[in-house]
Chain A
């Protein structure tokens, strides 16, 4: 492994708690880039502001971006084919 400058999806839980009613870290995501499905907690999370970027651990393409400004939270999920959770 060349460098260690990422965290994982667990660290996005707080920032995303405004957007999702359920815990997003256990949700399954499918990468739009390579088709890999994995638990969101295992995605590589780059948290240096300006914002959080979650990337597919397989192909590195962007799964989601979240930016928290003083007034709003922006969420871009285009990099996921889907986000999947079990019905409660």
Chain B
């Protein structure tokens, strides 16, 4: 698979440390929700650094979107979040990944469970669901530290307005007023808000490695079929490697 050069056509600040980059990529073959790309930066002396980022948008034939969270002292993300501007070129390779994907023709309800930046590929799945006007039941559990950590705030509100989509935020450190609970996703949260094992849902879990391991274990412990649980790990802190 070859590296292609895309052009930045827009940037959107999502949170204090996360930005969505909109790219026009001339020969983009299209992608499925959940796939990712490798991004490569080249310095004037030829030095290169690359990282992987999930595609945040559904494919509708135009631009593609990546959402990047800034890693303190990072090498690539500070450039993508603070330096890259509209009109700049960006080298990408992809789309890659065929396991952690959802396509509208898949059958069965879908449970999405995301921690922190793990929301990115899940949002692509939700957008893809909306674009296809799919009637598949979708539930999202999105774990964040505090209200200001939520990416895609407006988007999620819009998606939650649909009858088929249920969005539930879990706050682990600080919750908005009126929110009864502060704490991590546990067996009780799954019991209350996730599809029951009998529903036969396919579950997609994405986020920092410890988050994914914990949630996957909770799901299996609650009786969910391991074969129907798909995972994508983003490393110790959830930042792309």
Contacts and interface: CB of A to CB of B under 8 A. Distances in A.
A25 B233 CA distance: 13
Interface string A25-62: 11000000000000111100001100000000000000
B209 A4 contact: yes
Interface of A: 1, 3-11, 13-15, 17-18, 22-23, 25-26, 39-42, 47-48, 70
B210 interface: yes
Contact of A10 (B48, B99, B236): B99
Contacts of A41: 97, 99-100, 230-232
A13 B235 contact: no
Contacts of B236: 3-5
**Which of A1, A4, A26, A47 has the most CB atoms of chain B within a 10 A radius of its CB?**
A4
A11 B52 contact: yes
Given A4-B209, A41-B232, 19 more contacts: A1-B210, A4-B213, A6-B235, A10-B97, A10-B99, A10-B232, A11-B233, A13-B96, A14-B37, A14-B93, A14-B96, A17-B94, A23-B97, A23-B99, A25-B96, A41-B97, A41-B100, A41-B230, A47-B241
CB-based closest 8 A-B pairs: A23-B98, A13-B96, A17-B1, A41-B99, A14-B38, A4-B209, A25-B99, A4-B236
B97 A6 contact: no
B241 to A, nearest CB: 5
Contacts of B233: 6-8, 10-11
Contacts of B114: none
B138 interface: no
13 contacts: A4-B210, A5-B236, A9-B99, A10-B97, A11-B52, A13-B97, A14-B94, A15-B38, A17-B94, A18-B1, A25-B97, A41-B232, A48-B241
A59 B29 CA distance: 38
Contact of B208 (A4, A13, A26): A4
A10 B100 contact: yes
A42 B241 contact: no
Interface in B53-86: none
Contacts of B213: 1, 4
A42 B208 CA distance: 14
A14 B52 contact: yes
A10 B68 CA distance: 18
B234 interface: yes
B192 to A, nearest CB: 25
